[in-house]
Amino acid sequence: MIQELHNPFPDSTCFFCGAESTCGLHLRFYRDDLSREVHADYLPEIRFAGQGTILHGGMQAGILDEIMGWTGFAETGALAVTTKLDIEYLAPVYIESRPVRVSCHLVLNGEKEMTLDAQIVDADGTVCTRATGRFHKIRKERYDALVRRN
């Protein structure tokens, strides 16, 4: 069964997933209970082009980092911060009229850290970008202190 994930964060201003972000992507994440994979579909926008009609690599990195954070929380319930992100740009992500699929799964769930793998796949099924991330788990009190809300 595939279910939409509820946003666990109290503010909704995140550039990537925040419903109240005026300039953001408003990504919505879904978890497949059978495969334990989290995914989001995203239609790249020309305002985020790098060269020509290629989605900027920094935007790709941000989207991959975002889905990893959501996947880690969905799979473990732990709040975590990114400590390492390794990215392979394998093929251009073109800005077209078709969405790309971003997907992620938990690889390792340790006591203090977790490792996740994510990818961006275009509408033709080409794996364009692949990433591995390491996330450090933190207590809610520490998370709240780091975030510094207005």
Write out pLDDT tens, residues 61-108.
Answer: 999 999 999 999 999 999 999 999 999 999 999 999 999 999 999 999
Model confidence at 123, pLDDT cuts 50, 70, 90, reads very high
Q: CA–CA separation, 131 vs 129, rounded Å?
A: 7
Distance CA 116, CA 72 (A): 7
Phi–psi pair at 72, nearest 5 degrees: -60, -45
Q: How confident is the model at residue 145 (pLDDT cuts 50, 70, 90)?
A: confident
pLDDT at 150: 53
Mean pLDDT of 2-27: 88
C-alpha 94/C-alpha 21 separation (Å) is 24
Residue 13: what pLDDT?
86
pLDDT tens digits, one per residue of 31-64: 999 999 999 999 999 999 999 999 999 999 999 9
What integer pLDDT is reported at residue 149 of this predicted model? 61
Q: What was the pLDDT predicted at 7?
A: 85
Show the tokens assigned to 56.
């900027």
| Distance (Å, whole) CA 116 – CA 147 | 22
